[in-house]
Amino acid sequence: MSWRRYCASAEDTQGAGHAFARVLRPGDVVLLSGQLGNGKTTFAQGVARGLGVSERVTSPTFTMVRQHECVNDLGITTLHHADVYRVESLVEVRDLALGELVEESAVALVEWGEIASTVFGRDVMIVDFLLEEDEGRTLVVSGALTRDRTAPLDQWASP
Ligand X SMILES: Nc1ncnc2c1ncn2[C@@H]1O[C@H](COP(=O)(O)OP(=O)(O)OP(=O)(O)O)[C@@H](O)[C@H]1O
Decide if residue 34 touches ligand X (CB under 6 A).
yes
Per-residue x/- track, 46-85, ligand X (CB under 6 A): -------------x-x------------------------
- Which residues in the 38-77 window bind Mg ion by CB under 5 A? 40-41, 59
Among 137, 140, 153, 156, contact with ligand X (rule: CB under 6 A)? 137
- Which residues lie across from 5 on neighbouring strands? 139
User: Which one of ligand X, Mg ion, none is in contact with 136 (Cβ closer than 5 to 8 A by kind)?
Assistant: ligand X
Using CB under 5 A, count the residues that bind Mg ion: 4
Decide if residue 10 touches ligand X (CB under 6 A).
yes
